[in-house]
Homo-oligomer: A and B are copies of this chain.
Amino acid sequence: MHGKEIVKIFDLSIYLKKQQEIINSALDKWLPLPHGPSGPVVDAMRYSLMSGGKRIRPILLIAAAGATGGDQKALLPAACAFECIHTYSLIHDDLPAMDNDDLRRGRPTCHKVYGEAIAILAGDGLLTYAFELMCKPELTQNISPLLLKDAVFLLAKAAGVSGMVGGQTADILMEGQPVDAETLSFIHSHKTGSLIQTSVEIGGLLGKASDEELYHLKRYGESLGLAFQIKDDLLDVEGDQEILGKPVGSDNRNFKATYPALFGLKETKRRAQELLEKALSELECFDDRAEPLRSIARYIIKRDR
């Protein structure tokens, strides 16, 4: 544990902090600046985008590219595109017509600050900007246009009605109704899983993973996406218990579509652990360069926020 060996110890918190800094600085540099009659919508986009998210999706993309020795710097625009899409989905989900949330990460939501019309437009602007950034000529000279075309297709598919938008639709429509395991699985895999899985897949694709590597990265991403949502459900329940003293299972009586509500806490935790192990097993064919992906998987299951 001395000298050279020390550098081999992978410290996830240092890695995440460094990647978050790189991503935040790129987003700040690449996003348009507010000016002219449309300035307020750019203000609103920046307000929501630069509000301290974990940047899990762009980091997964970069880590997946790194696992196969791909050029991580060249993939930064694609990584940032995922954060633009994730943020747009939060802005629209928070709207009064949807989840009607006033607070997000401790700050007033976009529509509380800028009004509903500008919040809708800020979401539209961020969703559209994701594709502009991903294909910006001066930022994509070192990426194969053929691979980039496939990546745009995969991202759009994951974000649209076959993915995230489809999941949010089902979630909205099932609100207050009893949800069976099949529908819950549909909501989770589409609303959250789809974008997380695809961030890993696009990292591998643009990082020039072999077919075999790409196969395993996709399966890693699939397990991770589901694990991420299950852990979110667990945090909801356990967070509630600590803060409100609410008994476990109250979500169940409210027909809230969560894993603990359907399967109970113990079974849900077992399932999360199983998914972690499955995700890790998919990385067995990778060397040390996949250490960030392994650590992120463990972190996603163990995180307390």
Contact = CB atoms under 8 A, between A and B. Distances in A.
Main SS class of interface, A:
helix
A186 interface: yes
B183 A156 contact: no
Contact of A128 (B116, B136, B137, B159): B159
B173 A149 contact: no
Interface stretch (A38-46, A51-59, A237-245, A258-266): A38-46
B38 A190 contact: yes
Contact of A161 (B125, B134, B162): B125
B36 A161 contact: no
Contacts of A162: 32
A12 interface: no
A174 interface: yes
A132 interface: yes
Interface residues on A, range: 35 or more
A37 B169 contact: yes
A252 interface: no
A208 to B, nearest CB: 15
B127 A161 contact: no
A161 B38 contact: yes
A36 B128 CA distance: 27
A23 to B, nearest CB: 20
A98 B117 contact: yes
Nearest to A144: B145
B132 A160 contact: yes
A74 interface: no
Interface in A89-137: 92, 95, 97-98, 115-118, 120-121, 123-125, 127-132, 134-137
Contacts of A125: 160-161, 165-166
A53 B120 CA distance: 24
A170 interface: yes
Interface in A213-236: none
Given A32-B162, A149-B140, A186-B36, A169 B121 contact: yes
10 contacts: A37-B186, A38-B167, A38-B170, A41-B161, A41-B165, A41-B166, A125-B161, A132-B156, A135-B149, A135-B156
